[in-house]
Amino acid sequence: MTNRTLYLIACAAPPARRIDAAIRVAQVAGWDVCLILTPSAYRWATEDAEGEIDRLSELTGHPVRHQYKLPSQADVLPAPDAMLVAPLTTNTLNKWAAGISDTLALGLITEGIGLGLPIVALPHWNDAQGLHPAVPRNVETLRAAGVTVLLGEGGFVPHKPRQGNLGAYPWQAAVKALSM
């Protein structure tokens, strides 16, 4: 049986440096994982970790995408059955809720809502970033649009600035939420 396709969309927050862990968890759960990075996350993976993109392409079996194709180019990824946005930054949250699609990652997740795809978002930000009034408002906007935002008990709980615990980032809970 063919595995269902999951678009894993990672923004530029520290858990993106361990995105291989998320890929493995999703693969064990039976997903064919395609990785899409925001331009900032792609910069982290290319400039801060030599060979990372090649390793991630090998792990998923698909090219790692980070920018829109040209109109003349063919799609290189299979169509998605579901999307997991993890880690979700405040920047992408706020643009997503506003319907902005100026990166491939945002284009996929803004359209994904309209397509009715199951979408789970696992935030990562500190409690100072999370106290900006746009953040709770936009989390509610996305929830009302059908996105499962795993913020709070059972998902991601914001930490004090510079006190994050990457080992506790709940990848398992996010992948589990996809199948609910």
Ligand X SMILES: Cc1cc2nc3c(=O)[nH]c(=O)nc-3n(C[C@H](O)[C@H](O)[C@H](O)COP(=O)(O)O)c2cc1C
Pick between residue 60 and residue 103 the one whose CB is nearest to ligand X: 103
Provide the minimum distance between the beta carbon of 44 and ligand X in the complex, in angstroms, as a whole number: 8
User: What is the distance between the alpha carbons of residues 58 and 95, in angstroms, rounded to a whole number?
Assistant: 31
Among 3, 5, 110, 129, interactor with ligand X by CB under 6 A: 129
Residues in contact with ligand X, counted by CB under 6 A, come to a total of 14
Distance from C-alpha of 169 to C-alpha of 54, rounded to nearest angstrom: 24
- Under the criterion CB under 6 A, does residue 141 sit at the interface with ligand X? no
**Going by DSSP bridges, is the β-strand pair 31-37/119-123 parallel, antiparallel, or unpaired?**
unpaired
Residue 125, interface with ligand X (CB under 6 A)? yes
Bridge partner list, 159: 126
Closer CB to ligand X, residue 60 or residue 90?
90
Q: Does 11 bind ligand X (CB under 6 A)?
A: yes
> Tokens 């299979």 identify what position?
78
